[in-house]
């Protein structure tokens, strides 16, 4: 049972995958920006977690800089919210090791994302790091005493493991950690241009940094209702990906689009071009800011280093508390 009162603190993170796409925006970043005005926030770059999918480290720094440029462009304010790399704050590895003693192998083998990852990566041998992935994530969250973790649905099982680890630690060594909650993002996953989950590795994304021409080209190829072959055919917006985009980025016009599509008056090409224009407008301010960061990459790295100093202090305090609770040292 939790007895202490904890201040609401947001902690979330992503693996450094490079340029962000609309799926990242809808699934996470938009929420992060919104939460910033209400609570204290910490935003983590999971560069150690990145090693679970690729041991080649040459792209980690460039991808980190691309990703953080997008975070800044959509409105993450580094003065309010430290942005930092997991690998630069040694306390992540320390707490990870301690947590690894508090959970069984069987429990980690039941983690559904483990099976998915193995399937996605097309490998038959899992490494220790895959198994321990959620243990490291728990350390990420609890080092900062995060109470609320805004993530996509796919991460819910990791937050559950984090809760279990916090409870287990508290029950053995006394209460140090809050029991965090996942804050699942309300808009369902944004589909990619082929109708599957939008994902960089699949190549079905619209990037936040894409110019209007590029967006048009991509949306022109997006799949729509296969039964609507030409203008005049009645379409089914509920199965159409482009309509999903309209719902998200063009909510004011969805009634008209629905009526136009179902009656056949609105053809797919016109509907797509309208959609591309709306999305392009929506992300235009991000693109503008992004150009600035592309020209001032050194500033992005300074922002990260500054975040590491601030986050490092919090992490250090928590680890001191952990050691005290465990009578270590």
Query: In a 3-state reduction of DSSP, which class is residue 151?
Result: strand
Active site residue 309: no
Q: How far is the CB of 245 from ligand TRP (least distance, A)?
A: 22
- DSSP three-state, residue 7: coil
Residue of 119, 272, 274, 313 with catalytic role: 119
What's the longest Cα–Cα distance across the chain?
Answer: 76
- The token duo for 101 is 């003693």
Is 313 considered catalytic here?
no
Edge-first strand listing for the sheet containing 9-14: 83-85, 40-45, 9-14, 148-151, 181-184
Q: Which of 303, 187, 202 is nearest to 248 (CA)?
A: 187
**CA-based radius of gyration for the chain:** 22
Of 12 and 204, CB closest to ligand TRP: 12
Considering the complex, what minimum distance in angstroms separates the CB of residue 218 from ligand TRP? Answer: 24
Nearer to ligand TRP, 67 or 72 (CB): 67
CB of 172 to ligand TRP, least distance (A): 23
Asked about 38 being catalytic, the answer comes back as no
Which is nearer to ligand TRP, 151 or 311 (by Cβ)? 151
Catalytic residue among 200, 216, 218, 289: 200
> Nearer to ligand TRP by C-beta: 23 or 235?
23
Q: Could you tell me which of 232, 226, 322 has the C-alpha nearest to residue 270?
A: 232
Shortest Å, Cβ 152 to ligand TRP:
7
Residue 89 tokens, joined: 């704050």
Give the separation between CA 21 and CA 227, rounded to whole angstroms. Answer: 29
Instruction: Output 44 or 207, the one with its CB closest to ligand TRP.
Output: 44
| Rounded Cα gap, residues 318 and 227, in angstroms | 58
Angle ∠(240,246,251) on CA atoms, nearest 5? 135
Question: Contact residues for ligand TRP (CB under 6 A)?
Answer: 11-15, 44, 46, 49, 137, 140-141, 149, 151, 155
Provide, rounded to whole angstroms, the least separation between the CB of residue 63 and ligand TRP. 14
Of 150 and 191, which CB lies nearer to ligand TRP in the complex structure?
Answer: 150
Q: Are 81 and 43 in contact (CB under 8 A)?
A: yes
Single out the catalytic residue among 19, 197, 216, 289. Answer: 197
The minimum distance between CB 138 and ligand TRP, in angstroms, equals 8
Nearest Cα to Cα of residue 150 among 251, 43, 258: 43
Q: Which residues are catalytic?
A: 119, 197, 200
């Amino acid at each position: 049972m939790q007895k202490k009162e904890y201040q609401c603190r947001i902690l979330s993170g992503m693996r450094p995958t490079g340029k962000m796409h609309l799926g990242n925006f809808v699934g996470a970043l938009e929420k992060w920006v919104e939460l910033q005005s209400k609570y204290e926030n910490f935003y983590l770059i999971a560069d150690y977690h990145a090693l679970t999918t690729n041991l080649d480290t040459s792209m980690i720094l460039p991808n980190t800089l691309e990703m953080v440029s997008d975070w800044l462009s959509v409105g993450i304010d580094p003065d309010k919210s430290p942005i930092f790399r997991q690998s630069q704050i040694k306390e992540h590895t320390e707490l990870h090791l301690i947590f690894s003693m508090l959970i069984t192998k069987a429990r980690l083998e039941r983690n559904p994302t483990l099976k998915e990852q193995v399937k996605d990566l097309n490998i038959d041998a899992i490494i220790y790091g895959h198994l321990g992935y959620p243990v490291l994530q728990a350390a990420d969250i609890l080092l900062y005493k995060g109470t609320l973790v805004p993530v996509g649905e796919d991460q819910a099982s990791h937050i559950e493991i984090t809760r279990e680890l916090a409870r287990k630690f508290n029950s053995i060594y006394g209460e140090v950690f809050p029991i965090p909650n996942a804050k699942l993002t309300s808009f369902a996953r944004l589909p990619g241009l082929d109708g599957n989950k939008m994902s960089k590795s699949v190549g079905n994304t619209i990037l936040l940094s894409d110019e209007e021409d590029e967006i048009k080209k991509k949306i022109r190829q997006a799949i729509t209702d296969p039964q609507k072959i030409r203008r005049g055919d009645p379409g089914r917006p509920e199965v159409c990906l482009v309509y999903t985009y309209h719902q998200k980025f063009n909510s004011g016009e969805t009634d008209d689009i629905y009526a136009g599509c179902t009656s056949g008056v609105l053809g797919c090409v016109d509907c797509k071009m309208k959609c591309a224009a709306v999305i392009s407008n929506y992300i235009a301010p991000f693109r503008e800011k992004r150009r600035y960061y592309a020209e001032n990459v050194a500033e992005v790295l300074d922002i990260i280093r500054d975040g590491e100093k601030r986050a490092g202090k919090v992490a250090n305090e928590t680890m001191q508390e952990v050691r005290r609770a465990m009578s270590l040292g």
